[in-house]
Amino acid sequence: MDLRRLRYFVVAAEEGNFRRAAVRLGTRQSVISRRVRDIEDELGADLFHRQPGHGAQLTEVGRVLLGDVREMLTHLDRAEMATQAVAYGKRGRLRLAASEDVMTATLARIIAAYRQQWRDVHLDLFEMPPGDQMRALQRGMIDLGLMLPPVDGPNISTDPVWSESWLVALPEVHPLAIWPSLNAADFAGENVIVGHAERGPRCGRHVLTVLDVLHVDVRIVAEVEHLQTKLMLVQSAAGIAFVPGDPANVTIPGIEFRTFTPAKGQIVIHAAWPEGNASGLVAQFLRVAHRERASGDGWRHLHCENSAWRRRLA
């Protein structure tokens, strides 16, 4: 049955008069009468006793149908509200992936703010290297990825969402540990532990690129897949390592963390999602991330390159 006809029937039953039903619905009485007659023809039974001057009273068939139609319309209204809630990111499940080297105190603050605002959204968080994230995005296995650049992949939209300071992790007995902050040139000749080129944390290799530009030579003594392994090797005094974050939020026995100033700004974390598919869940997360970004340090000069997700909820 046509939903519009059924809604007309419900209003006519509630008013007990086709003329008043037409006024309430902003249409003509003949339209109400015709729509009700269409339902009666389809059912093969009268829904109203039509009495000139006495309005329209429901028949027994009409009373049964009215109860069922009201229940059905209530379910439809609830379904519409639930669907809109998901479409606008108010309910549903957000599948978020992050590489190991972006799981910083900033991300924790963003997630806390997101969960506080959108309590009805279930957040699934996966730790995933950037390459695996790109494949998962293209296969529809995750909704949003967070990683350090480069963000490589066809049909992928990206947005820089926050930045982190460069930190160097030093064995606590290292000569450089006596200084409160360092410069890139201070690392000349140092043994360095970096992430594996394909699956490891990217932050160390970003620094190596900067050091190479500055003609600061270092020795790579180990390539690892996990940040924890990198820090364990620093504890063993095998070398130094570069990580993102805030030294105030990092305390590990046997390691001293120091900020340092490379030639190029800060580490910028990018969000990635399938092109043309900035769902309400993705858009709301990015909106919260940018709001939290604005309240942190080091954000004033970070430009948002992609505003498609903003238009998604405009």
pLDDT of residue 306: 41
pLDDT of residue 250: 67
| Successive 10-residue mean pLDDT values, the chain, 314 residues | 85 88 90 90 89 80 89 79 62 88 89 89 90 90 91 86 88 93 90 86 82 90 90 94 76 88 74 81 89 60 38 40
**Phi–psi pair at 167, nearest 5 degrees:** -125, 145
User: How buried is 169 (Cβ within 10 angstroms: 0-12 exposed, 13-18 middle, 19+ buried)?
Assistant: buried
Nearest to 17 by CA among 57, 46, 47, 68: 57
CATH topology of domain 94-158+270-312: D-Maltodextrin-Binding Protein; domain 2 (3.40.190)
**C-alpha 182: how far from its chain's center?**
36
What would you report as the CA-atom Rg of the chain, rounded to the nearest whole angstrom?
31
Instruction: Measure Cα distances from 265 to 98, 107, 159, 161, 217 in Å.
Output: 22, 19, 17, 15, 20
pLDDT of residue 84: 63
Looking at the chain, the domain(s) classified CATH 1.10.10.10 span 3-87
pTM: 0.65
154 preceded by cis ω (within 30°)?
no
- Say yes or no: domain 166-261 is CATH 3.40.50.1110: no
pLDDT of residue 125: 93
Looking at the chain, the domain(s) classified CATH 3.40.190.10 span 94-158+270-312, 166-261
**Of how many residues is the chain composed?**
314
DSSP 8-state symbol, 148: P
pLDDT of residue 304: 36
User: Which string of DSSP letters, residue by residue, matches the chain?
Assistant: --HHHHHHHHHHHHHT-HHHHHHHHTS-HHHHHHHHHHHHHHHTS--EEE-TTS-EEE-HHHHHHHHHHHHHHHHHHHHHHHHHHHHTTSSEEEEEEE-GGG-SHHHHHHHHHHHHH-TTEEEEEEE--HHHHHHHHHTTS-SEEEEPSP---TTEEEEEEEEE-EEEEEETT-GGGGSSEEEGGGGTT-EEEEE-TTTS-SHHHHHHHHHHHTT---EEEEEES-HHHHHHHHHTTS-EEEEES-GGG---TTEEEEEEE-SS--EEEEEEEETT---HHHHHHHHHHHHHHHTSSS-TT------HHHHHT-
Q: What CATH number matches the domain at 3-87, 1.10.10.10, 3.30.310.10, 1.10.645.10, 2.70.70.10?
A: 1.10.10.10
pLDDT of residue 197: 80
Nearest to 168 by CA among 196, 190, 148: 190
